[in-house]
Structure 1
Amino acid sequence: METLRLTPDIVMLRFAVGQAYLIRGGDGFALVDSGPAGCADAVLDALRACGARPGDLREIVLTHSHADHTGSAAHLAAATGATIAAGAADAPVIRGEAPEPPPVLRDREHPLFEAVAPTVPPAPPTPVHRELADGDVLEWGIAAHVLHVPGHTAGSVAVHLPHARAVFTGDTVAEHGGRVIPNVFNTDRAGVLAAVRRLAALGVETACFGHGYPALTGAAEALRRAARDG
């Protein structure tokens, strides 16, 4: 796992597939996404490298239900006592109560999906203690607002930190080859494009994606280009 400190309070944890983010709050840490199954110990090591104990992880927010983002959440919650939050429409999938709706793949996405999907281990059923809705406020000791951004999955959420002018997009947006793009493997591509436009309107400076390196400056303009170029 690669660790990259983006700001004094945000650390990116980059796995073989996908990534997660540790965020320092008022009295502890939050985690956006958890990485695939088998990554929990590496996340705990990263937490310790930040000078924290496992019990300092207060909440894990899962941006959507895909296994590369949810796979280690149950292990981490058990090891730390953290609560798990996710979008209401994705919560049954994360809990193992409903199947994952398949993506609607465009022709050019099929080879990539066939190459990537088998490399992601299945996620174990994971508790969701809080089902998130648009406009919810997270209790992180800093301002943290939830946006419901359906399209990649029905329950996809983003987290906006107004004070830091930062947003965690989940898989609504990705970075590939130096370009910020709407992500692939979506259930509703039109919904994703609408979500990218909404994220662009936040006027953020920093955008942290589910895949690819974050946009640390000029994120709002990069998101506008991604929505426009589709």
Structure 2
Amino acid sequence: MQLAPHLHRIGNDIVAFSLLVTPEGITLVDAGLPGHWNDLQHELRSLGRSVSDIRGVILTHGDSDHIGFAERLRAEHGVPVFVHAADADRARGGAKPKNGKQEMKVGPTLGFGMYSIRKNGLRTHYLTEVVEVADGDVLDLPGAPRIVCMPGHSPGSIAVHSPVADAVFVGDALTTRNVLTGRTGAQPAPFTDDPAAALASLDRLAALPASWVIPGHGAPFHGSPADAAAAVRAAASR
């Protein structure tokens, strides 16, 4: 689905990932679940493009519902996969801290689980090789993506800012649909390692110029990053 020039989104409000599409090639931000591979092929065909046009995958963090088919792209097609150094081990299958009790409702939680199963989410394909990135890096990839550290959801959570697409991709630094409760609107994401740090990181998001804020779960936020950050803080205070 095309949201704006250069900006495409694949998946739904349960799990999604994004494409930066330029004449020079395509950059993926996150890789969803393994079964999203077929959705990617369909989107590429609709664009008259192919896997050979993909120049890189940037992971907003190393959780299994974001690394999806990234290893397949890397191993079969030589596409480099970029992740912050602090999440490189997680993307390779390293230990993840337990987040404690989560608020949940039966319907949305079951829906998240069933969708994950349909998209082969029970068969995680961890990365065997990654390219580590750091705060402030501007990658030599289509869309000129810049890395903005957003620790909290995980130690190496990042936002990816692309002025070309007028968008910032935030992974799970925030969500607009809680997959465990079904609650919509900009809010803190579940399964966050350090909620206080995640809220503090919103200051970095608020400083970015963009018209779109794209989370990995929930509808895209069409508005400024400052407005998105304010809405998350307001939801957290309720």
With normalisation by structure 1, the TM-score equals 0.87
Is 1:186 aligned to residue 192 of structure 2?
yes
Is the Cα contact below 8 Å between 1:85 and 1:128 reproduced in 2?
Answer: no
Is 1:99 aligned to residue 95 of structure 2?
yes
Is the Cα contact below 8 Å between 1:147 and 1:159 reproduced in 2?
Answer: yes
**Deviations 1:122-159 (CA, angstroms, capped at 9, x unpaired):** 41221343111111111124332101111111111110
Correspondence for 2:203: 197
Is the Cα contact below 8 Å between 2:67 and 2:126 reproduced in 1?
Answer: no
Runs of 4+ off more than 6 Å:
110-114
Correspondence for 1:138: 139
**Deviations 1:20-44 (CA, angstroms, capped at 9, x unpaired):** 0011135100101111122223212
1:81-92 mapped onto 2 (5 Å cutoff) = 81-92=78-89
Per the TM alignment, residue 216 of structure 1 is displaced from its structure 2 partner at its CA by: 2.1
Correspondence for 1:222: 228
Is 1:44 aligned to residue 41 of structure 2?
yes
1:59-208 mapped onto 2 (5 Å cutoff) = 59-96=56-93, 98-106=94-102, 108-109=103-104, 115=110, 116=112, 119=116, 120-176=121-177, 177-208=183-214
Correspondence for 2:31: 34
Is the Cα contact below 8 Å between 1:104 and 1:186 reproduced in 2?
Answer: no
| CA spacing shift, 1:142–1:21, aligned 2, 3 Å | closer
- Quick one: distance in 1 between partners of 2:65 and 2:165? 26
- Quick one: distance in 1 between partners of 2:166 and 2:229? 14
Correspondence for 1:14: 11
Q: How many residues align?
A: 225
- Quick one: distance in 1 between partners of 2:109 and 2:184? 23
**Deviations 1:148-203 (CA, angstroms, capped at 9, x unpaired):** 11111111111011344310000111113551112111000001111223212214
Higher relative contact order (CA 8 A, sep 6+): 2
- Quick one: distance in 2 between partners of 1:27 and 1:155? 28
Q: Secondary structure at the match of 1:89?
A: helix
- Quick one: distance in 2 between partners of 1:59 and 1:143? 12
Q: Secondary structure at the match of 2:222?
A: coil
Q: Secondary structure at the match of 1:221?
A: helix
- Quick one: distance in 2 between partners of 1:71 and 1:162? 26
RMSD across aligned positions (CA): 2.4
Which of 54, 77, 88 in structure 2 is aligned with 1:57?
54
| CA spacing shift, 1:78–1:195, aligned 2, 3 Å | same
Which runs of no fewer than 5 residues in structure 1 stay unpaired? none
Given residue 44 of structure 2, which amino acid in structure 1 is its aligned partner? L
Q: Secondary structure at the match of 2:196?
A: helix
- Quick one: distance in 2 between partners of 1:135 and 1:186? 23
Which runs of no fewer than 5 residues in structure 2 stay unpaired? 178-182
**Deviations 1:55-102 (CA, angstroms, capped at 9, x unpaired):** 110101111111111121111223432110111111112123x22222
Task: State, as a whole percentage, how many aligned pairs show the same letter.
Answer: 32
With normalisation by structure 2, the TM-score equals 0.84
